[in-house]
Amino acid sequence: MRVYVGFDDTDTISAGRGTGKLARWFEGDLPEGCRLWGVVRQQLLLDDSIPYTSHNSSACAVLECPEQFSLDLLTARAVAHIEHHFIEGSDPGLCVVRERDLIIPALISFGLECAKRVVTQGEALVAGDGHLSGLGGTNDGIIGAAAAVGLTAHGWSGRFIEFGGLREFPSAVSVETLSRAGIRVVSVDRDAHVLAPEDIVETSGWLRPRLWAGQPVLPVAPGDSGRWTSLGRKRPGVVN
């Protein structure tokens, strides 16, 4: 059973770490029987009327749990995780939903709205009748937490900040190695070439696949013969 755990607004501008890192740390607090499949950072609307910390992103930890697993236990672990890492001045929110829950379509619609317009806590509460809770401050984090779940369940936006130990890969890695790790490598050049298993992808030490069709996909552009460059680079100030 797949479970989505959305986190948002768990940091402050001087915290030294972002929500993405807290979502990745949750792997260490998972109940027995659950495992982390991946963590996806979702970009929400940038608007001056939204009181975000730096880039208005939220994060969703995607878990694989036994079919009869207690969602209440998992939720309690997630609440305790946020409370342990709570930073004064933040407005954390949490959303926990199973992939088969009937609320998923509403959360997807809500997440898509969050990417294009300013939304309210009230709208989040209507969409999030799974577990959705504010755990401090203004409780505005419920908006991003619900959106992170919805967009991740939708499967066509965001980038992985954790998947199969992606931070341990070298800066030059073969297509075959990435494929074995579950990361699909796709050319986005004009001719959309098929990559050979022995081709090499240069990541500059920042490997962040996209969430496309519900799977981790690494878009690349051609370089010299048999070598490719992954798209996207780490931005200053981004700690995920």
CATH number of 2-159: 3.30.70.2200
Query: First CA to last CA across the chain, in angstroms?
Result: 27
User: Which phi and psi angles does 31 have, rounded to 5°?
Assistant: -65, 155
**How does the average pLDDT of the chain come out, rounded?**
89
CB 222 within 8 A of CB 228: yes
CB 111 within 8 A of CB 45: no
pLDDT (tens digit, 9 = 90+) per residue, 51-95?
Answer: 555 567 899 999 999 988 889 999 999 999 999 988 888 889 999
Joined together, the tokens standing for residue 184 give 């699909």
Domain range summary for the chain, segments of one domain joined by +: 2-159, 168-230
For the chain, the residue count is 240
pLDDT (tens digit, 9 = 90+) per residue, 128-187?
Answer: 557 999 888 888 899 999 999 999 999 999 999 999 999 999 999 999 999 999 999 999
